Amino acid sequence: MGGEETESGYPIHTHDVIIIGAGLTGLRAAIETVDAGLDTAVISKVHPLRSHSVAAQGGMNAALGNAQAGDSWEDHAFDTVKGSDYLADQDAVELMCKNAPGAVIELEHFGTVFSRLEDGKIAQRPFGGGMFPRTCYAADRTGHNILHTLYEQLMGRELEQSKESKGSKGSEGSKGRKRGGRITFYEEFFVTSLIKSGISSGEKGPAKGERCVGCTCINLADRTLHGFSCRALLLATGGFGRLFTRSTNALINTGDGASLALRAGVPLKDMEFVQFHPTTLYGTNILITEGARGEGGYLLNNKNERFMKAYVPKSMELAPRDIVARSIQQEIDEGRGFDNKYVLLDLRHLGKDKILERLPGIRLISVDFAGVDPVEEPIPVQPGQHYSMGGISVGNDLATELSGLYAAGECSCVSVHGANRLGGNSLLETVVFGKLAGQGIGKNLTSSGSGGRVGEEDKKAVLERLSEEAERVKALLTRDSGVKMAGLRDELKKLMFECFGVFREGKKMEEGLEKLLELKSRYPEVYIDNKSTVFNQALIYALELRGLFDIAEAVARGAIARNESRGSHARTDYPDRDDENFLAHTIYRLEDRGAEGKAKGITEGKPEGKPGIKPEGKPVLEYLPVRLGKFPVKERVY
């Protein structure tokens, strides 16, 4: 493994850049840092090709104007801002939408096989909330295609570096890549903590002289702890869908990056905004792409009615996701669903040929997991958690408050999605901001002239944290009784879906937070039966659970304090949007218990932990104004 040395019994790895997460964001950033001549490590708790990006189906937005002339980045930006319920920062949206066409063309040149129109141009389909059909796609396996393409690009660079190490001449690699850039993958490594060096003020947020210098990990193969030192670290860990019982997300999506950042003193932003996808497969909650409705699918209730005409008669099934999800849930709640649990997505009128060409994956999923062939009968669907608009608070340069720490992709909040993400903008965000993060890190490090050396204080910080993490893992493994991890996790997921789901109400959320804090107080008593050193997934699940509690509290407190309905945050007791008081981002951080900080809208609850357990920080809410621009705030109508 790259850059390895052993000190005090722990393997230590030193790299210029560490990227945590090997989905689209992480891989796209790695291409840039390697090409900038930097020694780059990518750490992932699964093989890169098993990252959740592989499950993205519908497509990626860009104003190419291939399917319908007249589209522009300005139109794309307006749709995005309107879709966000005007909570998106408009300069960030402009940055993303301007870069969208170039990002798609670049992926094509990298080797992504997009579906085509008859004239040979990249095909584009309609998605909810868009004025134009601008979603570029590869049938219904778009994420799969892009992920494989980016991984292949890095494998090519790895092959080049192997040739260089054998003495090939020349100062630069192919396509202008600077000689010396390296890529090392640490597959099936679970990150347990971020490491800071410098002096902390003990007050709100990281101290001015404090910086991120690395992380600690567990190697799943043998349970050994590893330390990593670096000059810059990028979090690209994806979302936290597994906080909810019904989710389209992979089992690995447990909000690790957001929890790591929060515990390092970095604030989270807009965590209350959680997207519930309208169409997940009843029974398993596997995603049924919005592309199915983009191709012309109908939503039907138990009266065989296309019920969306009662909610948004103009947009019908192609309204934004938050509106469609609420409409479906209302139909179910009011008794017009099937078995009071689901509605139907009807594709039969599209015909077998179109389904096989445009939606082959959806047909396969429906047959394999529901016993339903959409060519012959409708698909049973229900809303399920799909995406997190909130995340680690970053600027347009993807830097956090902590020097040396960056975040991009779904784990971050730039914010380009605001209160509701439009379908097709997620894949776009990963590649645009993954690239920008990599470029920014490369520029900062190559211009710093530090030579990539890690100081003695940084090494000391790594070793100290390794010792602390070893004690934490040991305590968990030696505990033979207490609270069962799986049962506690299931209670948490059920609570979050019931109290902080599609529809929310103040009293119910307050009761949910109280129960949440009670569950969290039981975490120090968690134990697992599996003590194995070889691929001990029970240990990883138990460690992930601590992070899920961090995320759950951030979601709950933000939702309770936001006394309005906006985008995905739909409160039955505050049904209207309140721009006067809440046209602002929620900032959530953990403050040292002894520090004096300003809190706005905080909801106090039971203290965390039990006697003998040191409190980890006091939750604090603040608000940050939305950065407006050329699109004035107005009523959101479709």
Positions marked active-site: 321
Q: Are 292 and 411 in contact (CB under 8 A)?
A: no
SS3 566: strand
Provide the greatest CA pair distance for the chain.
72
Per-residue buried b or exposed e for 259-284, using 16+ beta carbons within 10 Å of the residue's own CB? bbbbbbbbbbbbbbbbbbbbbbbbee
- Tell me the torsion sign for CA atoms 49, 51, 57, 58: negative
Residue corresponding to tokens 């090519």: 156
The tokens of 356 are what? 């096989």
**DSSP label of 122:** B
**DSSP label of 265:** T
What does the alpha-carbon distance between residue 25 and residue 52 come to, in Å, rounded to a whole number? 11
**DSSP label of 222:** T
Cβ within 8 Å of residue 583, ≥6 positions away: 86, 87, 625, 626, 633
Cβ within 8 Å of residue 299, ≥6 positions away: 278, 279, 293, 306, 307, 308, 317, 324, 328, 343, 344, 345, 346, 381
SS3 601: coil
What does the alpha-carbon distance between residue 15 and residue 445 come to, in Å, rounded to a whole number? 12
What does the alpha-carbon distance between residue 160 and residue 182 come to, in Å, rounded to a whole number? 9
Q: Are 522 and 546 in contact (CB under 8 A)?
A: no
Question: How many Cα atoms within 13 Å fall on the side-chain side of residue 12?
Answer: 21
Instruction: Residue 117: count other Cβ atoms within 10 Å of its Cβ.
Output: 11
434 closest CA partner among 24, 143, 88: 24
Cβ within 8 Å of residue 167, ≥6 positions away: none
What does the alpha-carbon distance between residue 230 and residue 458 come to, in Å, rounded to a whole number? 9
What does the alpha-carbon distance between residue 550 and residue 331 come to, in Å, rounded to a whole number? 33
Bridge partners, residue 469, by sequence = none
- Helices 537-561, 456-478: axis angle to 10 degrees equals 100
CA distances from 496 to 47, 557, 560 (A): 29, 12, 13
What does the alpha-carbon distance between residue 245 and residue 288 come to, in Å, rounded to a whole number? 17
Question: How many Cα atoms within 13 Å fall on the side-chain side of residue 96?
Answer: 34
